[in-house]
Amino acid sequence: MPHSLVLNLLPQSPIPPQYLTGRHLHALFLTLVSSVDSTLGDRLHDSTADKAFTLSPLQINSPLLKGGKGGSKLQYSHQQPIPAGTPCWWRISLLDDTLFGKLTQLWLNLNPNRPWHLGPADLYITSIQGTPQSIQPWANASTYAQLYEEASDVCDGLRLRNSSINLSFCTPTAFRQGQYDTTLPTRESVFNSLLSRWNKYSGIEFTQIAIESIFPSFVNIHTEILADSRSKFIGILGEVTYKILGTVEPIQIKQINALADFALYCGVGRKTTMGMGMARRLYSP
């Protein structure tokens, strides 16, 4: 069962920008895990395989104040310290029940007066959101069975919302292609990324999806460069609408729609455990 949890945080001292990188937030997550299960924390730290969680960059704005339609762009880098007392939020998604179950004790026994450390700064977790909120679209939970059952298998002129998949890439997104990265969100790159994570964690395997029936129909993206002292990451931000065209079996339509809805939890592409590749499907009103 995937969970998309939003942690509301309050720093007690300024957080310097060099400690707001994906690497330091990744370390903070492992500290949270190790506080309830040190063996699991060590295992996640040492694993090089695709991991059952994703993280967002630390956010200081309302998710509906940036980026237009539903706040589709998130803050992915900071040039200035975050001042003490500034309310922040941080999204953690968990892709399997094992990891969520291990962390249940952390959520249930949350001590709002216990400081956690991000670099030299102390911060408190003031609350955790796990269900959709009108101003916080990143909090949600669903079973994999629900995601699949609620995905439409209808694709006709009367149900255009189900033949049109509008994906918003909210933090820089790139895909591995051989030995190198590519920033182009082709149907193969995006939907194969979703498919591999779905098959790994859902228990509802899709042996093959109708990728050849997916066509980009609207593209509004640009590249961004995210650099720190260790590396440089180039990814795309923006929106792409994919349409399902041609004669497609209902079960294949259903699978494609389920994968698009799953993007909220698993992200796409590389470095999703470092805040990159955050994506979600946008529905027209």
Q: What pLDDT score was predicted for residue 132? A: 82
Low-confidence ranges of the chain (pLDDT < 50): 65-71, 157-161
SS3 28: helix
Q: 266 near 173, Cβ under 8 Å?
A: no
| Domain 3-140 and domain 144-282 have a common topology | yes
The closest of 277, 159, 165 to 218, measured between CA atoms, is 165
Tell me: the pLDDT tens digits for 160-182?
445 789 999 999 999 998 888 99
* Overall fold of domain 144-282: Alpha-Beta Plaits (3.30.70)
Q: What pLDDT score was predicted for residue 113? A: 80
Residue 83 DSSP symbol: P
Q: What pLDDT score was predicted for residue 39? A: 79
Residues 142 and 5: their CA atoms lie apart, in Å, by 12
Q: 151 near 211, Cβ under 8 Å?
A: no
Q: What pLDDT score was predicted for residue 190? A: 97
Residues 230 and 249: their CA atoms lie apart, in Å, by 47
- 165 forms beta bridges with 242
Q: Phi and psi at residue 33, in whole multiples of 5°?
A: -65, -45
Tell me: the pLDDT tens digits for 73-90?
799 988 899 999 999 999
Tell me: the pLDDT tens digits for 40-72?
777 777 776 668 899 999 999 765 544 444 446
Q: What pLDDT score was predicted for residue 67? A: 44
106 by Cβ neighbours in 10 Å (0-12 / 13-18 / 19+) ranks as middle
Q: What pLDDT score was predicted for residue 80? A: 92
Q: What pLDDT score was predicted for residue 70? A: 43
Q: Average per-residue pLDDT in the chain?
A: 87
Q: How many residues does the chain have?
A: 285
Domain edges within the chain: 3-140, 144-282
Tell me which of 3.40.50.1980, 3.10.105.10, 3.30.70.1890, 1.20.1050.10 is the CATH number of domain 3-140.
3.30.70.1890
Q: What pLDDT score was predicted for residue 71? A: 47
Helix (H) / strand (E) element for 108: namely: helix 97-108
**Category of 70 on φ-ψ map: left (φ > 0), alpha (ψ -120 to 50) or beta:** left
